[in-house]
Each structure stands twice: as C-alpha cells, then as structure tokens.
Amino acid sequence: MPSHSDAFFVLTGGPGSGKTSLIEALHARGFRTAPEAGRGIIRDQMEIGGSALPWQDPALFAELMLAWELRSWREAHAAAGPVVFDRGVPDTLGYLRLTALPVPVHMREAAKRFRYNRRVFIAPPWPEIFTQDSERRQTLDEAWRTHDAMVEIYAELDYELVALPLASVEERADFVTEQIRQD
C-alpha cells in the first residue's frame, strides 16, 4: 500500500511562477526530478487531437493528471535519494476546486494514500516573469487563483507550505537545496 515518503518534495503554485525553471536547475544540481503533468498532457493531447484539455474537458484532463502523478510517485521509489516533483497528487484536487468541478472520492483517496514530504514548496505568482504561451493560456489572475487553491488543498491535507522567495533561479535552487538538506 502506498504511504508517505519523506524523500519526495513537491514544488507547486500557479502557472508562470518559475516552477519549471527551478526544477531544471535542481536537476542540473543532481536532484532526481519528476516533470509537471499538465504541460505534458496538453502537449500530447494537442498533438493527437485529443479532448483531455483544460479548455475542452477539464474533468478528463484531471483524470489524466492524476494518472500521471501516481505513475511519477511510483517511479520515484525505484531509486534512492530525494526527488523533487513539479506538482503532486494534491494539485489535481486543487485544479478541480479551481474549476468548480466535484472532486471524486478516488481522487481524495489518492491524495490520502500517496503522500509526500510534509513540507511543500510553493511558488507565489510573480508578475515580472509571468508569460502565456500555447500551453499556458491562464491569465495572471488565474495564476493567483491557482496559487490560492493549492495553498488551501495542501493545508487541508496537512502539509506545511514553504513559500519560495522571489529571487533568481539559482537563489531559489540554493533555498530549496538547503531546506531539503535540513530535512
């Protein structure tokens, strides 16, 4: 049965807050990382003409996000050492809440069973670096609402949120590295 893993660190927050750049910097420092589900799913669905897109079928998109996150969680058990996840299972619940869709029982169960380190890093919205593209269609206002939804859901699931500083990628990587070493 899945359980809590102290070596699994989640990085969450709204879109355009520097999460992926930070994940890449941590990977370059030797950390094992797990990529974000959302962008991968959007890219794949657009390529094949699929409907599991947040602007087309948000419930199906959420199901694929959950499947991606569960797979990432299980794959992380294959090797030793800390793993930094670009979002986690609770992000799926936060997404559903953000889109005013009901959270199915199986997703709540997944969030209870597939746990991460109690400390979760959250990237606050950062207007100076926020950009949109073909995969990230959210506005800055939606980025704030996403951030707030993640704060709520992770707190409800008894995680401790650690806000990332609005600083360079290297300074953020130093901050996360130090926090992980203290754990």
pTM: 0.89
Is residue 3's pLDDT more than 70?
no
Within a domain: 37? yes
List pLDDT tens digits, range 24-57. 999 999 999 998 888 889 889 999 999 999 889 9
Q: Phi-psi region for residue 85, left (φ > 0), alpha (ψ -120 to 50) or beta?
A: beta
Q: What is the mean pLDDT of the chain?
A: 89
CATH of residue 78's domain is 3.40.50.300
Beta bridge partners of 122: 12, 163
Maximum pairwise Cα distance, the chain: 45
Token pair, residue 159, equals: 């995680």
State how many domains the chain has. Answer: 1
Is residue 130's pLDDT more than 80?
no
Are 52 and 62 in contact, with CB atoms under 8 Å apart? no
Within a domain: 119? yes
Within a domain: 53? yes
pLDDT on residue 177: 96
Strands, E assignment, 19-101: 32-34, 83-86
Within a domain: 69? yes
Within a domain: 2? no
Q: Which residue type occupies 180?
A: I
Within a domain: 163? yes
pLDDT on residue 39: 81
Least confident of 60-69, 76-85, 113-122, 157-166: 76-85
Within a domain: 175? yes
Token pair, residue 156, equals: 């409800």
Within a domain: 55? yes
Is residue 115's pLDDT more than 90?
yes
CA 162 – CA 65 distance, rounded (Å): 23
* Domain enclosing residue 57, as ranges: 8-182
Is residue 137's pLDDT more than 60?
no
